[in-house]
Amino acid sequence: MKKLTTVALFLFILVLAACSSENEETIANEEELANDETTNEEVSEITIEGVNGEVPLDGPAKKVVVLEWTYAENLLALGMQPAGMADIEGYGDYVNIEPQLDDTVVDVGGRQEPNLEAIASIEPDLIIGVSFRHDAMLDQLESIAPTVIFNPYPEDESINLYEEMEMTFNEMAKAVGKEAEATQVLADLEAQYEEAQAKIEAGNLETNDVILTLAYSGPQAPEIRVFTPNSMASIILEKIGLTNIHEPDQFEIFGSSTFNVEGLVKYEDANYLYTVPDTDNIYENQLKGNKVWENLTFVAEDRLYDLGADTWLYGGPLSAGTLVDQITATLVNE
């Protein structure tokens, strides 16, 4: 009887130990799971930065409203359609890229004065604005959703406009959880530059010196916007083996200087790359028969290169790639 009691006590101790071990294991598993959930929460939290400071997001933004064309283009480059954007009609008139916007994108009014009710109805995760248009309405935008503001035109020479484009593109990619896609887009663009440079070298141009211009009718005479070395378009020229010889007298925040025809004389030995609207072609209208214009060397030697009215000299990586194709086709194949 005593022996049976001893055995029963021994078995009871074993069962108690087993239960204690299971409880400890359960507690450990629960703690590990809690730690994993905390880690996942930390990973899902994103902080992006614009000129309005750091903007926290609970996770990658899925519904993004963009109030400037470049930011719509950036989303498209990342394989994502904006949930809403400003001035869709104007975008279609100027921005010449693939892929295009689809029918799901909601128009939220003008870029300068977007419709706040239309934005709110989308219930966006993120709103992206531009400093020179939307600083004054930041509080209203933030009352709808987290808002980041970028400035495509830095006010000093610490960063050029191409670097700003890349920085903003990468920040947007971070906001929507597509950083790997952004890296690939920029790598593909660099490869495109190398390919274009090889084609231009093989083209044996008389000179690789160029100026790049956008012309339009001014109040009293034709005005010609000549792009400066800090502009995005000019840096693209350099990346494909061309040399922009325009040297501005002062820092131009928007990346271009404005000239009349007489101001072009000092650049007449360069190739003249230009874009002009079909509806305001100063070369066929105001400058036809103009003695100063027709005596310029690049005019007399027919080194005028029309990039086409649909050439967009601003934007993001997709516009950069389109510009490269247009320049290469015009210089080499024309």
288 — alpha (psi -120 to 50), left (phi > 0) or beta?
Answer: beta
Cα–Cα distance measured from residue 181 to residue 173, given in angstroms and rounded to the nearest whole number: 8
pLDDT in tens, 15-53: 444 555 555 554 455 555 555 444 444 457 899 999 999
Examine domains 47-177 and 186-333 and report if their fold is the same.
yes
- Which phi and psi (to 5°) does residue 64 adopt? -115, 130
Q: Are 164 and 154 in contact (CB under 8 A)?
A: yes
Name the nearest CA neighbour of 174 among 232, 128, 135, 138: 128
Determine whether 233 is exposed, middle or buried from the number of CB atoms within 10 Å of its CB (0-12, 13-18, 19+): buried
pLDDT reported for residue 157: 85
Q: Report which DSSP code applies to 267.
A: G
Residue tagged 């663009």 (tokens): 189
Domain 186-333 has CATH 3.40.50.1980: yes
pLDDT in tens, 68-104: 999 999 999 999 999 999 999 999 888 989 899 999 9
What percentage of the chain reaches a pLDDT higher than 90? Answer: 78
Residue 249 makes CB contacts below 8 A (sequence gap 6+) with 257
Residue 274 makes CB contacts below 8 A (sequence gap 6+) with 212, 213, 214, 215, 283, 304, 305, 306, 307
* pTM of this structure: 0.84
pLDDT reported for residue 44: 77
Q: Are 118 and 109 in contact (CB under 8 A)?
A: yes
pLDDT reported for residue 147: 97
CA 223 to chain CA centroid, Å, is: 28
- For the chain, the domains span 47-177, 186-333
Cα–Cα distance measured from residue 180 to residue 328, given in angstroms and rounded to the nearest whole number: 29
CA 320 to chain CA centroid, Å, is: 10
- Which phi and psi (to 5°) does residue 286 adopt? -65, -35
pLDDT in tens, 235-267: 999 999 999 999 999 999 999 999 999 999 999
Name the nearest CA neighbour of 150 among 64, 71, 66, 50: 50
Cα–Cα distance measured from residue 275 to residue 175, given in angstroms and rounded to the nearest whole number: 34
pLDDT reported for residue 334: 53
Task: Give CATH superfamily name and number for 47-177.
Answer: Nitrogenase molybdenum iron protein domain (3.40.50.1980)
Sign (positive or negative) of CA dihedral 247, 250, 159, 76? negative
Distances (CA, A) of 305 to 55, 121, 253: 44, 46, 26
